[in-house]
Amino acid sequence: MGSALGDTGIMLVNTLINLYLFVLMLRFLLHASRADYYNPISQAIVKATSPVVGPLQRVLRPAGPIDIATLVVALVFKMAGIALICMAIFGFPPIGLLAIAALAGVINAILKIYFFAMIIMIILSWVAPQSGHPGALLVYQITEPIMAPVRRVIPSIGMIDLSPIVVFLLINVLDSFLVGTLSRAAGPLAPLI
């Protein structure tokens, strides 16, 4: 019973770490896609991440669309989270495996955000195509930078836009190739990604 309780605690800690990593990566993608920072959802994301990202942003300025400070904070946060869980189980893991697992976790979070944003965008296009809701606008602003290049190559067939299918395929290929390869390289830390 103690082991099951310990496993549940580890799962809860890992879930909380991944949720905050998700919010950090949302902030990263908001900057990368040049989303509207006056959107109330954007402001909530920035407010939730500013205590950890703000001090580092004074030193690490964004390089064009890449918010380096947020990326560094996300990697360090994921590394610290994995290290904390590992120390509770079997001790401090090798730093190389820790870095690989953290990188896989960050890439996985970005791909999941795009995946779910695409699903939301597709559902909204059927249910409320002209929605002015802040969430709908934010989803559109985040997904448009990856959708626009695909739309230029693959035009719509009548009213059917095939670009989400191609983007879903690309997300799955990147997930299996990048995250899968990094997960295998992370060895025993792979379940914590």
pLDDT for the residue numbered 60:
87
The answer for residues whose C-beta is within 8 angstroms of residue 32's C-beta and 6 or more apart is 65, 66, 67, 145
pTM, full prediction: 0.89
Average pLDDT over every residue of 24-44? 92
Beta-strand runs (E) in the chain:
none
Average pLDDT over every residue of 96-114? 94
Please state the domain count of the chain. 1
pLDDT greater than 90 at residue 44 = yes
Classified as helix, coil or strand, 35 is coil
In the structure, what pLDDT confidence band is assigned to residue 92 with cuts at 50, 70 and 90?
confident
pLDDT for the residue numbered 4:
66
Q: Where in the sequence is the domain holding 43, given as residue range(s)?
A: 2-192
In the structure, what pLDDT confidence band is assigned to residue 89 with cuts at 50, 70 and 90?
confident
